[in-house]
Amino acid sequence: MTDKTAEDVPVKKLRLMDGRSRTSPPCALGKVGQSLWNRVLGDYDINDAAGVELLAQACQAADRAESLRRQIDETGEVIHTRSGLRDNPLLKHEVASRAFVTRTLCRLGLSVEPLRAGPGRPGSGGLGVGPW
């Protein structure tokens, strides 16, 4: 029987975990933001710090857009002023929040269909019959 030295034992690198599970957001989210978070992580594996932060920012913007939508629903899309009717100023903020969400999701590369193992369309060539 041979004795192992410290040089023979493989070293396993450990990572310090912060107590959050991989699927919990790094910040508090509302109902809409949490739903977006869950749906995205259900389809995609985002585990880098930058990707997690971008997704969290998108989810917070989705919550903000929904909050603005509720306020617009209460006050109306058109408001009365001394000079007449005007668009509700919250409309542009809601649109900006929704645009931020879509841009951020595209920057994360989430605008493409995720790869799935299982049935689906065959690759190029259809059923394996070539065009000869």
pLDDT at site 110: 85
Distances in whole angstroms, Cα of residue 70 to Cα of each of 31, 40, 94: 13, 24, 10
Name the token pair of 120: 């689906």
pLDDT tens for the chain, 132 residues: list them: 566 565 665 554 434 344 444 578 899 999 999 999 999 998 888 888 999 999 999 999 999 999 999 999 999 999 999 999 999 999 999 999 999 999 999 999 887 765 666 665 656 555 555 555
